[in-house]
Amino acid sequence: MPSNAQSLPIDISNLCKAYGSVKALDDVSLNIAAGEFLTLLGPSGSGKTTLLMALAGFVRPDGGSLRFGGEEMIATPPHKRGLGMVFQSYALFPFMTVAENVAYPLKIRGVSKADQKTQAERALDTVQLGGYGDRRITQLSGGQRQRVALARAMVFEPQIILMDEPLSALDKKLREHMQIELKALHEKLDATVVYVTHDQREALTMSDRIAVVNHGRIEQVETPERLYRQPHSFFVADFIGESISAPVKVANDAAQLGGRLLKSNSPIAQGRGGHRLVIRPELLEVTVGAVPETANDLSGRVKDIIYQGDSVLVIVQHDSAGEINLRVPANRAGQTGLPSKGEQIGLALHPEDTIIVPEHVA
């Protein structure tokens, strides 16, 4: 169901919102490209939902600028912003049929009944619910209800669609399936999507870019791969993906762990507080014999081995870094064998996988 209207860019400048002494939005600036799928990612209370509600017009910022396609929106009421909205709770009308729910935005816009029917059917076809129009909402599963909510949000072909944790009420398997469907659906639509979630895997799966929100500020905006491999702060590194960390000493743009120099291909960012080495378990390499001189040596003694289905977690005790988690795919573990508890093993961390970040952004 491609839109006839062109998607709009969103420009956010110095947006502020306080509730008493709490800064829900603290001088937030962000540019979202037309047609982009951008995710606001952060823990509960980080400010991501407040930012989304400011975009929707349900929260009035204390200051700053908010533009859709160059037009200032701060004072524009929600119903005049032309946005599609998808909520966590679906917000569907149980006394209406599926088709009536989907057609409701068209009805309040004065679209004829014939066009309501045609456009609602087209929207339902787009979310793979063709033929469900006469059903009651109570007859649908959670995944089907969420598809209805999506169809309703897109039926009037909005240029911008906002989604507030729309998949969080679904079970894990259905949520992962819907993530792929939403990603594919976005590719069909000519709409800018702003999506809120606290689930980092969901954000990595679906987004063109991710904005990590913490304490009312955006810590980093980047593509999923660059965000994972090149975080700018310990918060971002710790929040995105599985990791363990250890404090390191940084001087003259060089880092040391336990008095040993760490090799890294990435420059060490400056910030507040100290620095930490961030270790991704899947990036560690078990070596046979000595660790290559080109890699960082994190060898240690095996403390525990934990089978987790698709992988095996090996916990290694390192003299300076403490406990280091090594993740081995289950099939590879079966082929090559695993070390034993108490065994000393060689662990190499290559410079391209060595992440050193400040405790806090500058």
Each residue's pLDDT expressed in tens, for the chain with a length of 362 residues: 444 457 899 999 999 999 999 999 999 999 999 999 999 999 999 999 999 999 999 999 999 999 999 999 999 999 899 898 888 777 888 899 999 999 999 998 989 999 999 999 988 988 888 889 999 998 998 888 888 988 898 888 899 999 998 888 778 888 888 888 888 888 888 899 999 999 999 999 999 999 999 999 999 999 999 999 999 999 999 999 888 899 999 988 889 998 899 999 888 888 888 899 999 988 998 887 788 989 999 999 999 999 888 888 999 999 888 999 988 887 766 556 778 899 999 999 999 999 999 988 87
Residues counted in the chain: 362
pLDDT (0 to 100) of residue 235 = 93
Cα 86 to Cα 48, 195, 221, 259, 298, distances in angstroms:
15, 9, 23, 52, 46
The β-bridge relationship of strands 271-279 and 244-251 is: antiparallel
- DSSP track, 109-125: TT--HHHHHHHHHHHHH
pLDDT (0 to 100) of residue 6 = 77
- DSSP track, 146-161: HHHHHHHHHTT--SEE
pTM: 0.88
pLDDT (0 to 100) of residue 334 = 59
Domains of the chain: 10-228 (3.40.50.300), 244-361 (2.40.50.100)
pLDDT (0 to 100) of residue 336 = 62
pLDDT (0 to 100) of residue 1 = 46
Q: Are 229 and 280 in contact (CB under 8 A)?
A: no
DSSP symbol at 78: G
pLDDT (0 to 100) of residue 333 = 64
pLDDT (0 to 100) of residue 251 = 86
pLDDT (0 to 100) of residue 262 = 93
Rounded Cα–Cα distance for residues 325 and 305 (Å)? 10
pLDDT (0 to 100) of residue 2 = 45
pLDDT (0 to 100) of residue 3 = 47
